[in-house]
Amino acid sequence: MNAEVHDLKACEVSADEARAELERLFSDTRFRVTERQKDILRYLAERRFNGCDDGAKAYSVALDVLGRPSDFDASTDPIVRIEISRLRSALDAYYQAFGAAGSVTIHIPKGMYIALFSGMPIPHEFHGGLEAAVESRQFPPVSDAAPVPVRPRHGYRIAAAATAVALILAAVAGFELFSRSPAMTTKPTVYIMMEAAEGRLQGEASQTRDALTTALTQFTTLTVAKAGYANVRSGAPIGRSYEIDIKYYGDADDRSVWWQIADSNTGDVLKSGLEKVDISGKSPAFVREEMAGELAQRFAATRGVINNIEIHDGPDDALGNACVLRAEYALDEGGLDRVLGSRDCLERGLAIAPGDPDTNALLSRVLLVGKNVSIDPAVQLRALALAKGAVSAAPMSDRAQVALMVAQFAAGRVEAAVQAGNRAVELNPNNGDAAAKLALVLYLAGYKDAGVAMVHDAGRAVDVAPRDAILVLALDAYSSGRYSEASLLSEQISCTDFMVATLRVAAFGQLGSPEAHERLSEITAKDPDFERTFRDRVAAWRLQPDIATQLEVGLIKAGAQVDKNAVASVTTP
């Protein structure tokens, strides 16, 4: 036992005080963790109440709480470590934000699975903190500025005249450029009003509105205005704004809301809908959180209603928020041309606003798309620096943390990638896309069970499961020999990037389908280097050797001539 843990134990409160704090914490809607993490915390707490000073083992938590089989091996399945890491961060973040001086705090020390109930403030070194995961100060801002030319020591008059002409021309060019420069768009602002259909439900409606406000602020895609918008149209903020009117209904079996979104400036109704939550066997607090989460995803997710309107109505050459949204759409759909096309507007946006966290985050992800990025350390280093810059500028942004996860994984830093992914999910539990991307990282890194388990957390999307969640399930089906299921799942993914295309052809090849050769021909027609570069690109995905071999077998059965002499390698900066 280290000295710090010994000191915390010496300051522990009584069992009654500890139990009271545990129940108070669970009833506080601001403590945002999954039911599985609550079960883990209660399990650790009960062991503490029963006098266990050494904490629990990963094996015990896996079997007793997570329902894993008796052959569970923590060295190959990190699910316990991942869940407790997320729980630890959630506890630290909660007490940092809402803890009162002198109150009881619950802490899980790093490297131990034990719950401590302290009556003193938690030392700073115990908190997970972003410093350990980001270390952004080690990466200076990346600059693409050209070197300053050396002035010649002669020809001053000619140089001066040339300079004067150049300044005049530059001024004219600058004026023309300014007159036709693309718009710099900002995030939209939303105003929320919720009313109960019946007086008896007004209290529930008010609490649900507060929960929705919290859930919306966890998304980094829009700005939430102060409650009430009676004078919105007379004083609309810069950028587009929307009014969300919600009416709250309830009966014995469910709670439902009708909503509509209107343009604040014109009053035009743009979209409306109905959401319903079954209340059977659920606490009022859980119902509020579920309703708020569904509405937040509906309104604020990347492919939510408001951002769909923003990207549809925004100019094609717009910089700022519209460019960021277009880049996210392109990454999700997997079209290489569109992804590479979005890089130009991100670079231009970064030149105008170098500290913008969203532009930094998306440019980091866009840079890592392509055939050759895995063997270009300079690209990986810049992507990592951009992602760390995004996190440094916006530490509470799940978008920035996702970019950091992707960049760390591309650099071969799996543990750091998982840590960033966990942070993204903790910051915004309603962002199914972030959970799906973390699930894919876990699965690709060989933590298959953990990745598949995470997919179920990500499956709460508004309309369809996130792309990366389906990809995890398709890879898992393929690696388990369920080729028909893998084929069906891969066909449900709208994009056609390298991994999805490979899965589709390989599954058909394993099934002996006549479509296999046709699909392979379509891929090689668009990507003539597909067969020659297959192994290198699989290595860039950091796919486990067993699945990579199975995919190669499927491709060969489909008629592919995989280059046996290609040396699969990934350069790690």
104 plus 206 within the same structural domain: no
Average of pLDDT values for 547-570? 77
Average of pLDDT values for 196-214? 92
Tokens for 285, please give them: 């607090």
Q: Given CA atoms 136, 443, 85, 296 in this order, what sign does their dihedral have?
A: positive
| Beta pairing partners, 260 | 245, 272
Per-residue pLDDT band for 569 (boundaries 50, 70, 90) equals very low
Per-residue pLDDT band for 403 (boundaries 50, 70, 90) equals very high
Give the structural domain span for 61.
3-129
* pLDDT at residue 183, rounded to an integer: 77
* pLDDT at residue 233, rounded to an integer: 47
123 plus 205 within the same structural domain: no
| Beta pairing partners, 274 | 258
CB 80 within 8 A of CB 60: no
Give 30 or 258, the one with higher predicted confidence: 258
Q: Is 92 contained in some domain?
A: yes
pLDDT surpasses 70 at 162: no
Q: Is 401 contained in some domain?
A: no
- CA pair distance 83, 418, nearest whole angstrom: 11
Q: What is the DSSP secondary structure assignment for residue 12, as one 8-state letter?
A: B
* pLDDT at residue 73, rounded to an integer: 82
CATH number at residue 221: 3.30.160.150
21 plus 116 within the same structural domain: yes
434 plus 533 within the same structural domain: yes
Q: Is 548 contained in some domain?
A: yes
pTM above 0.75, yes or no: no
- CA 500 vs. chain centroid, Å, equals 20
537 plus 464 within the same structural domain: yes
84 plus 193 within the same structural domain: no
Q: Is 445 contained in some domain?
A: yes
262 plus 122 within the same structural domain: no
- CA pair distance 273, 266, nearest whole angstrom: 20
Selection from 59, 64, 65 nearest residue 78 by Cα: 59
> Which of the listed residues 64, 98, 129 is the one where a domain comes to its end?
129
Q: If you write DSSP's letter for every residue of 59-123 in order, what string do you get?
A: HHHHHHTS---TT--TTT--HHHHHHHHHHHHHHHHHHHHPPTT--EEE--TT----EEESSPPP
Average of pLDDT values for 28-42? 85
pLDDT surpasses 70 at 458: no
Query: What's phi and psi for 364, nearest 5 deg?
Result: -55, -45
446 plus 567 within the same structural domain: yes
When divided into structural domains, the chain yields a total of 3
Share of the chain above pLDDT 70, in %: 80
93 plus 29 within the same structural domain: yes
Per-residue pLDDT band for 485 (boundaries 50, 70, 90) equals very high
Query: What's phi and psi for 319, nearest 5 deg?
Result: -100, 180
> Which of the listed residues 280, 305, 330 is the one where a domain comes to its end?
305
pLDDT surpasses 50 at 150: no
- Per-residue pLDDT of 129-139, as tens digits, reads 333 333 333 33
Per-residue pLDDT band for 12 (boundaries 50, 70, 90) equals confident
What is the average pLDDT value for the chain, to the nearest integer? 80
Query: What's phi and psi for 291, nearest 5 deg?
Result: -65, -45
Q: Is 389 contained in some domain?
A: no
- Per-residue pLDDT of 253-304, as tens digits, reads 899 999 999 998 888 899 999 999 999 888 888 899 999 999 999 999 988 8
212 plus 92 within the same structural domain: no
Q: CA-CA distances (angstroms) from residue 431 to 218, 273, 393, 512?
A: 9, 20, 20, 39
- Per-residue pLDDT of 494-531, as tens digits, reads 776 888 889 999 999 999 998 999 989 988 888 888 88
- Per-residue pLDDT of 324-380, as tens digits, reads 999 998 888 766 778 888 899 999 999 999 999 999 999 999 999 876 555 578 888
Tokens for 568, please give them: 């699969």
* Helix residue ranges per DSSP H, 445-497: 448-458, 467-479, 483-491
CATH number at residue 538: 1.25.40
Per-residue pLDDT band for 69 (boundaries 50, 70, 90) equals confident
- CA pair distance 466, 548, nearest whole angstrom: 23
Q: Is 246 contained in some domain?
A: yes
Q: Is 66 contained in some domain?
A: yes
Q: Is 261 contained in some domain?
A: yes
Average of pLDDT values for 235-242? 65
202 plus 294 within the same structural domain: yes
Residue with tokens 């029963």: 50
pLDDT surpasses 60 at 161: no
Contacts of 357 (CB under 8 A, 6+ apart): 389, 390, 391, 393, 394, 397, 399, 400
Q: Given CA atoms 523, 529, 535, 540 in this order, what sign does their dihedral have?
A: negative
- CA pair distance 99, 109, nearest whole angstrom: 18
108 plus 197 within the same structural domain: no
* pLDDT at residue 361, rounded to an integer: 96
> Which of the listed residues 256, 288, 305 is the one where a domain comes to its end?
305
Helix H or strand E segment including 24: helix 15-27
